[in-house]
């Protein structure tokens, strides 16, 4: 079922200019490579301070990114969401808070290198990404080969991927994919405690925990 567009969506997104770095338009794929390069964001100017960058893919309504930015003023956060209908809520939630270390980016994950400089990201957060359980959709998983290659170009040499999911099959697939594509995994757990140090509980995570589901988590870095 297709999501109904929110009323006054374009106007509302326009009013989020202070926290929204860029929005991928409908005609994006008609742009030339040279035109796309003009989209690269100067992160030094985008944030109040030059700090290590944490990139969240699939930020939804922005709960994790907002809370993380509050807790960790020593990091800059870029929260990515491809759906304008969803990211507008995240931006509207964040804007009144005036957090100097949080920005949003409305684009598809596969196009991130058209917006962000190479090797500018210290951390990538994959919080409850869609597991795409059907094998025919495996290449859409955010831990599939093509995405892991993309992350290699985004991450600094000592960069780390943080992943959480409630789907054990997806978790097992991800571990295999990391190991097959030049990453090592560590701090692997199949039952992440809610009060784990530095864990920011997402909206999905809270619901999963209430229903008794285990939370699977890991970290991955380049070999």
pLDDT by residue (tens digit) across 182-220? 999 999 999 999 888 889 999 889 999 999 999 999 999
State the pLDDT at residue 63.
96
> 158-171, pLDDT tens digit by residue?
999 999 999 999 99
Whether residue 5 has pLDDT greater than 70: no
CA distances from 13 to 24, 86, 169 (A): 12, 11, 36
State the pLDDT at residue 1.
40
> 72-98, pLDDT tens digit by residue?
999 999 999 999 999 999 999 999 999
CA proximity to 77, closest of 107, 55, 106, 45: 55
């Amino acid at each position: 079922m297709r999501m109904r567009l929110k009323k006054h969506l374009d106007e509302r997104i326009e009013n989020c200019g202070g926290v929204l770095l860029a929005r991928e338009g409908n005609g994006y794929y008609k742009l030339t490579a040279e035109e796309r390069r003009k989209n690269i964001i100067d992160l030094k100017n985008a944030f109040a301070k030059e700090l290590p960058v944490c990139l969240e893919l699939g930020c939804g309504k922005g709960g994790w990114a907002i809370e993380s930015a509050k807790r960790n003023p020593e990091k800059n956060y870029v929260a990515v969401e491809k759906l304008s209908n969803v990211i507008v809520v995240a931006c509207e939630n964040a804007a009144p808070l005036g957090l100097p270390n949080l920005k949003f980016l409305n684009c598809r994950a596969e196009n991130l290198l058209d917006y962000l400089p190479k090797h500018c990201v210290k951390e990538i957060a994959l919080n409850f990404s869609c597991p795409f359980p059907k094998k025919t959709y495996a290449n859409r998983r955010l831990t599939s080969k093509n995405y892991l290659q993309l992350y290699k170009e985004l991450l600094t040499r000592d960069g780390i991927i943080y992943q959480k999911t409630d789907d054990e099959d997806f978790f097992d697939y991800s571990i295999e994919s990391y190991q097959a594509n030049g990453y090592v995994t560590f701090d692997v757990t199949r039952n992440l405690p809610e009060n784990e140090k530095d864990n920011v509980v997402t909206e999905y995570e809270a619901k999963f925990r209430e229903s008794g589901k285990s939370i699977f988590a890991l970290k991955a870095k380049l070999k």
